Chain A
Amino acid sequence: MQALLVRISLFASALGAISAFSALAQTPPAPPADTPRTAEVVAEVSNERTVIAVPSFATSSVQSVAGLRTDSLGRQIAEVISANLERSGLYQPIGPGGVRAITRAEVQAPRFADWQARNAENVVHGFVDAGSNGSLVVGCYLYDTALGSELVRKGFEIQPADWRRAAHKCADAIYSRLSGEAPFFDSRIAYIAESGPKGNRIKRLAIMDSDGGNHRFITNGQALAISPRFSPDYKKIVYVSYLNNRVRVFIYDVAAGTQKLVTESGNATFAPRWSPDGKQILYSMAVGGNTDIYRISADGGTPVRLTTAPGIDVGGSFSPDGRKIVFESDRSGSQQIYTMNIDGSDQRRISFGGGRYATPEWSPRGDLIAFTRMGGGEFRIGVMTPTGGGVRMLTNSWQDEAPTWSPNGRVLQFFRTTPGREGKSSIWQVDLTGVNLRRLPTPQDGSDPSWGPVLP
């Protein structure tokens, strides 16, 4: 698949004339002491959002590259950056609509007074120029308007079809520089697109960028598809298909457009998950009504049974170091969350609050486990530490389910279902403060989001 073969290169050797550009781009400078770096500060910032001006990116000369005009792309890239920053909840972008356009010369010599007059503490400038061999060159700059100083300088040479990735990389550089957090915009989501009546939903495997862009349907909907997970290298998707009226885990190869069974035993297999290195898969298998968790090489082979308790042991998520697994079990009488070592040893319950706990997902940072809590007539998304402490609920709705972490462990996506005969599901995201709640745009209804890592 083209989008995954994208090549975003820093300028290093390609263009000697702007070598200073490349040197800075490769070694991001340390943020000044006053840059907020901690989670606590992020929570405070969310109440008073920094105004950032994002005018359309300029172009040296309007050219058409692969049918895309450099000036139009300058506008679209600014729009993607602006939307990303807005959705993070930390910033209040203005532009590209409603702010004046900038000239190519201004990109490296901003008129700071103009942006201060718009109450912008920061301003993003950039350019889109035609490169060599049909490529595009995108420059990305962030300035502090009061200090008149440059905070970010990035350059990307890309294939025209990958222009959105340049926008995401630019937004990531801005976000990281201002928040002190790791980037997350340049990442992708696998999810289930839903359509049709509630009693006979059509559910298709689909993929998109973290902001809903570059949307693509993968399966045609003839077989019910659920619970996808992107492999860490984005080359494969493991998911459950009801192909031939059976419940089985398949690995779909995104580039080849083919899929293979993970294992075949005659029993239902479901709830698949990748290990952090993409070499192993967890899945659940029901035998005679009893469900247990198994681990198998992604290349096949003999599965290892990890749970043996009577009852339903299901789901699971690896810790980022690949040494532990968090999963759910009803062995105590209701759904609760447990951890174990990857060989199945040392199984211990970690959820003890009221209600049922399900769908645990280990943060890529390792510090938290996200879950669905059912109780009091609501399904809510929450987080707790890997030993079960510090439970915090982040959402409050009739049915929020199945959180998935952003690559930097700061944001969760999940799906929200509305009640009733016309009830529908849609994909939402919330940050760890619980304040910044947004619906993600999808062409149809959506469920079961699975967020992958930041692209290299």
Chain B
Amino acid sequence: MSRAENIALAAASLRKVSAVRAAEIAFWLAALAAFALLPDQALLLSEVTITGLFALSLDLVLGYGGIVSLGHAAFFGAGAYAAGLLTKMGVTDPLLGLALSAAATALLGFVTSFLVLRGSDLTRIMVTLAVAVLLKEIANRIPGITGGADGLQGVAPGPVLGIWEFDIFGQVGFGYSLAVTFVLFLIARRFVVSPFGWSIRAVKENQLRTSAIGIPVSRRLIVVYTLAAAYAGTAGALLAQTTQFVSLDVLEFHRSANLMLMLVIGGTGYLYGGLIGALLFKLVQDAIANITPEYWEFWIGLLLVILVLIGRDRIEAIPRALLRRLRGATP
């Protein structure tokens, strides 16, 4: 083949990586339809959306950066407390509160990213876990500021864009969460198919090779960890604003563990995994809780064990195969 043909071929296959697929448009149209058609489910869907954004942020760290974190709730919780406290300090504009909370958690992510740069998976797991329990311990010990075990009461954000007041049915909350999640998703999607995003995937694939082609591995990990922290913090802030309450629960170990489960159910490394996983998790959790309200965690645990024993690859292949069939193309 001629050089020109090869160039055209190469350009086409690289373009395909970032091309928008029909299934993606369908996904977001479905989300929009849920907003329009299911107003009585708004509270639930709002929670799912926020959790989905949170899981998306873990995907950036785990699915792209390859860092196993067991303490991602640290950033979610920090964002939630930041947003809650901001409204109490008089910053009632939701979007401004969101931006400030995101900035605060980005700073926290930046500082703690240096802890996960080196070391084995085990060291990383323990350090991330320790950061999360540390934050929870702090939140627990300063009830004067955080409300301690009683939670942060009286979080009262103003109307969104000065127009829409948060209502008790969660309709505004859902719309607001969905819009923020959509915008952040678009940014993340753009980010992961950029040369910078590819260099982060490269770090996960092979650190030695990545540094041998001249890409500074540590700096890439710092950036993706910081970005993911900001995303997780935004998710936490959304929860604080839409539920108008923050409890120590936002920093719980369960939150980090369940988050990882959702992401793995939905699949890592393609951004939709977190969003789909959060929805599936909620559906499964509700279905089990309907049958056995107190012991649903047993079945979630069983699901995890089976998932690992059968093999994530084989299970992850299912949604991907479906996706492929839907758009009839290769990834």
Are A and B associated in one complex? no
